[in-house]
Amino acid sequence: MKQSMIDRLNELGGQGKPFVFCLDYEMSELVLLEEPLAQQELLFDIGGVTNQQTRSASDQPALLRATPMSEEAYAARFAVVRHALERGDSFLANLTVATPVELNIPLEEVFFRSKAPYKCYLPGRFVCFSPETFVRIVGSEISCFPMKGTIDATLPHAAETILGDYKETAEHYTITDLIRNDLSRVARDVEVRRFRYIDELVTSRGRLLQVSSEIVGQLTPDWRAHLGSILSVLLPAGSISGAPKEATVRAIAEAEGEPRGFYTGICGYFDGESLDSGVMIRFIEQQADGSLRYRSGGGITINSQCAEEYREVCQKVYLPFV
C-alpha cells in the first residue's frame, strides 16, 4: 500500500473521523470518503450501515447471461498454478477468472436488490455484493472470518459432504493458519474461536452452503491511530491470495495475466470507534466500453482437480437475490 494511503487512514482513524473506503487488490488505488452517510459518490451497505436512500426496487426479473471461458483456457491458467504448487512455491493459491456477462438491469439496481453483508457500488466501475468479512474491530478485539468451501445446499447430506471433503478441509486448515499468523503480526492472544462453521447463502441459482472460521486477537488501545498500518500488514487477504502469501501472489499474477483491480480488494466503514470491512468477492465490473465482467475464483491445492475447479468458478457467477 502506498505510504500516503497508510498515512491518511492513520490520520482519520486517530482523529476518530468516520469514513468509508474501497482499496484495490494491488493496493494502488484508494477511494476514501469522509462524512460517509451524507455522500452519494459511493453507495454502500456495510454490516447494515448504509447511505442507501429509500427507494423501491424494480420487480422486473433479473436475467444474468454468462459466457464462461472454455475449460481449455481455464486449464492453461490452472497449469501455471499447479506448477507453482509442484515446485513448493505455494501450498494454496486462489485462482480467479473474469466471465463476460450480460444483464437486463443496471448495476445500481443490482446493488439495491442484492442481499449481502458487504455491498458497494461505484458508478461506472463496479458493484460488489460480498458475503466475506475481512476484519472487524470492536473495542480492541480484531476478528477475521475466512471463507473456504462452497457446496450446493440441495445436494443430499450437503453439510456432511463439504465438512468431510479432504481437499476442502486441507484448504481451510491452510487459510486458517495463514490468517492466524497474519493477525499475530498486529495483535496478541490470537486464537481460533470457531473452526469450519456453516452459513447458508440464497442466490439466483439456488441455495449454497459456505464454510467459514472465526479468528480473533487483541490490539493495543491506540489501534485507531495505526489503522492504515494494520491494514497494510494484513493485505492482501489470505483467503483470496494463498500461502505462503508473497510467492503465491506472484504465481497467481502470472496465471491470471491481468490486474484484479478492486476485485478481491477490501471495502470498509469506520464510524470513529469501530471498523467493519469485507473482501470484495462476488463482483461485477464495468469496462470502459460499457461491457460487464463477473469476477470469480477458487482455492487450488495439490489435490485439486481442474474440472472441479472450473465448475466452481462458473457456479459462483450468480446474483444474490431470487
Encoded amino acid at 89, one letter: D
Across the chain, where does the E strand assignment appear? 19-23, 30-34, 43-46, 49-50, 64-66, 92-103, 118-122, 126-130, 133-138, 141-144, 147-152, 188-203, 206-218, 242-243, 266-270, 275-279, 283-286, 292-300
pTM of the model: 0.90
Task: List per-residue pLDDT tens for the chain, 322 residues long.
Answer: 899 999 999 999 999 999 999 999 999 999 999 999 999 999 999 999 999 987 766 778 899 999 999 999 999 999 999 999 999 999 899 999 999 999 999 999 999 999 899 999 999 999 999 988 999 999 999 999 887 777 888 888 888 888 888 877 887 888 899 999 999 999 999 999 999 888 887 666 678 788 889 999 999 999 999 999 999 999 999 989 998 999 999 999 999 999 999 999 999 999 999 999 999 999 999 999 999 999 999 989 998 999 999 999 998 999 988 6
Cα distance between residue 117 and residue 213, in whole Å:
16
